[in-house]
């Protein structure tokens, strides 16, 4: 394989969240585990809650070993408490629930210390946030962290959305930074992989970093089809994929559809689930969009790929998106994408593969969505070219195997004692 070192490291892969079909971060953990196990002798350490999903997916794979750490006695009550406290903000629930990671990490370290001579390198791939201050460097082995995609500040131009999302809870990240300083996590890491400029800037100045996206695309699932212009009597087919939470900005997408009502036919499919589902269904009825909008619920990756193959454009009006996996998947499917010019989407989308939407406020963002939809109808050839360019970019930069190749090269550098600076 490209980038594979002559001597394969015995790898300890730490993935607190790991399992297919369990959410975006757990999918990241699964991709790292299932793909890296084909390359190197691997031991996965993960939370016991992932056992059922991993077993159903055929784990352990390729002769790998799995160590399950059980802290459900703490994690379960904590999650239920957070869910009652923040019924509309999954991000706030995540921030509160993330306290379990430190209990898990302590238990994992206690167990792994007995076997530290069994591995050459430790790579902690999930959680994907800088607040996840692991103590695995105390094993005395080279430690790679990430890719991480946190460190992003909340936008000031969407105050109502951020209030609804309990944005004040984001300050809890300061606790994570304090623990990082106490535990010496980034200080003692051999390398921190960072997904965005925000992430790199959020880390202490001494931190050794290298850029790598935290997510990837399974190019065998997200296959392109020939992009066809909307038919004269047919609708402009739009797809959204994401959690149904305030920061995703779905009501602004609905408002954009109201503005173009009567100009041309549109069809919007919203894929995903979350606490705002009932409210969104109500908005769809009140705005008279019942015949144009379909809330499809959560879908598997293969099902999402099928929806994208029928779409003309993918729209993610998320105002606080540190990553952007769904945007990458859209590009891989050959579908041009719209994303907000802030955070992760600003590093994925440009005019060659789609269009960036204004981050200056709701009115400007809605206006940009409307303008993009109108432009697709009047300039379909240009948007077909954007879709084709997106697929090329996905093949070159976003495929999971490219991520694994890059990691293998880093492992090789470490085994050879080479410098790991970018």
* CATH number reported for the structural domain that contains residue 302 in this entry: 3.40.50.2000
Quick one: CA dihedral 345, 347, 352, 353, positive or negative? Answer: negative
Higher pLDDT, 172 or 316: 316
Mean pLDDT confidence for 368-393? 97
End-to-end C-alpha distance for the chain, whole angstroms: 22
Calculate Rg over the CA atoms of the chain: 22
Q: What percent of the chain has pLDDT over 90?
A: 70
* Average pLDDT for 311-323: 94
Which range of 40-54, 129-143, 172-186, 195-209 scores highest in mean pLDDT? It is: 40-54
pLDDT of amino acid 92: 63
Report in angstroms the alpha-carbon separations of 157 from 52, 125, 153, 161, 276. 42, 32, 12, 9, 21
Residues of the chain with pLDDT > 70, as a percent, come to 91
The whole-model pTM stands at 0.86
Q: Do 24 and 60 belong together in one domain?
A: yes
Domain hosting 139: range is 11-216+399-415
Residue 359 domain-assigned? yes
- State whether 15 and 163 are in the same domain: yes
Query: Mean pLDDT, the chain, as a whole number?
Result: 90
Residues 240, 138 share a domain: no
Same-domain status, 79 and 113: yes
Q: Between 180 and 38, whose confidence is greater?
A: 38
Whether residue 107 is contained in a domain is answered as: yes
Tell me: do 101 and 246 sit in the same domain: no
Same domain? 254 vs 181: no
Q: How confident is the model at residue 258 (pLDDT cuts 50, 70, 90)?
A: very high
**For residue 18, is it within any domain?**
yes
Residue 390 and residue 403 share a domain: no
SS3 53: helix
385 and 327 in a single domain? The answer is yes
Q: Three-state SS for 355?
A: strand
Nearest to 289 by CA among 321, 260, 318: 260
Q: Are 199 and 301 members of one domain?
A: no
pLDDT for the residue numbered 59 = 97
Instruction: Answer yes or no: do 257 and 162 share one domain.
Output: no
Residue 201 included in any domain? yes
Residue 353, domain member (yes or no): yes
Do residues 392 and 334 both lie within one domain? yes
Q: Is residue 228 part of a domain?
A: no
Assess if residue 5 is contained within a domain.
Answer: no
| Count of domains observed in the chain | 2
227: in domain:
no
309: left (phi over 0), alpha (psi -120 to 50) or beta: alpha
Q: What is the spatial distance between Cα 79 and Cα 76, in angstroms, rounded to a whole number?
A: 5
């Amino acid at each position: 394989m490209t980038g594979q070192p002559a001597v394969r490291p015995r790898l300890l892969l730490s993935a607190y969240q790991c399992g297919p079909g369990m959410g975006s971060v757990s999918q990241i953990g699964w991709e790292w585990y299932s793909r890296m196990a084909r390359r190197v002798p691997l031991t996965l350490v993960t939370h016991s809650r992932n056992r059922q999903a991993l077993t159903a997916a055929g784990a352990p794979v390729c002769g790998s070993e799995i160590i399950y750490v059980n802290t459900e006695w703490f994690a379960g009550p904590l999650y239920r408490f957070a869910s009652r406290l923040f019924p509309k903000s999954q991000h706030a629930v995540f921030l509160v629930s993330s306290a379990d990671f430190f209990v898990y990490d302590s238990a994992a370290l206690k167990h792994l210390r007995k076997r530290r001579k069994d591995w050459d390198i430790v790579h902690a791939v999930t959680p994907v946030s800088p607040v996840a201050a692991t103590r695995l460097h105390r094993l005395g082995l080279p430690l790679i962290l990430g890719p991480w995609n946190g460190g992003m500040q909340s936008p000031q131009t969407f105050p109502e959305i951020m209030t609804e999302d309990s944005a004040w809870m984001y300050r809890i990240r300061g606790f994570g930074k304090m623990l990082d300083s106490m535990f010496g996590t980034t200080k003692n890491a051999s390398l921190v992989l960072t997904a965005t400029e925000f992430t790199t800037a959020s880390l202490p100045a001494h931190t050794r970093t290298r850029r790598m996206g935290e997510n990837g695309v399974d190019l065998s699932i997200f296959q392109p089809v020939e992009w066809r212009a909307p038919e004269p009597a047919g609708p402009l087919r739009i797809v959204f994929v994401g959690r149904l939470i305030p920061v995703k900005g779905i009501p602004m997408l609905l408002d954009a559809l109201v503005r173009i009502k009567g100009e041309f036919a549109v069809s919007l499919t919203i894929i995903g689930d979350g606490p705002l589902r009932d409210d969104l269904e109500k908005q769809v009825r009140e705005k008279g969009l019942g015949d144009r909008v379909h809330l499809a619920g959560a879908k598997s990756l293969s099902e999402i790929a099928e929806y994208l193959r029928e779409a003309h454009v993918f729209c993610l009006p998320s105002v606080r998106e540190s990553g952007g996996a769904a945007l990458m998947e859209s590009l891989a499917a050959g579908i041009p994408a719209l994303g907000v010019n802030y955070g992760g989407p600003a590093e994925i989308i440009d005019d060659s593969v789609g269009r960036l939407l204004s981050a200056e406020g709701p009115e400007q963002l809605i206006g940009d969505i409307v303008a993009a939809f109108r432009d697709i109808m009047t300039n379909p050839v240009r948007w077909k070219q954007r879709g084709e360019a997106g697929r090329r970019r996905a093949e070159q930069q976003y495929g999971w195997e490219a991520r694994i190749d890059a990691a293998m090269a880093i492992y090789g550098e470490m085994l050879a004692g080479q410098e790991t600076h970018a």
